[in-house]
Amino acid sequence: MKTIIVLTGVLATVSAFAVTGLIENGSGIFVWVFLGYCALIVIVQAIPAVILFTSMVKVIMSVITESFAV
Q: Report domain extents, the chain.
A: 2-68
For the chain, counts of helices (H) and of strands (E): 2, 0
**Whole-number Å distance between alpha carbons of 13 and 8:** 9
pLDDT at 4 over 60: yes
Quote the Cα angle for 50-61-54, to 5°.
5
**Whole-number Å distance between alpha carbons of 59 and 17:** 52
Residue range 10-69, pLDDT digits in tens: 666 655 555 555 666 777 899 999 999 999 999 999 999 999 999 999 999 999 988 886
Alpha helices in 2-28 (DSSP H): 2-18
Q: State residue 67's pLDDT score.
A: 81
pLDDT at 70 over 70: no
Q: State residue 27's pLDDT score.
A: 78
Q: State residue 26's pLDDT score.
A: 74
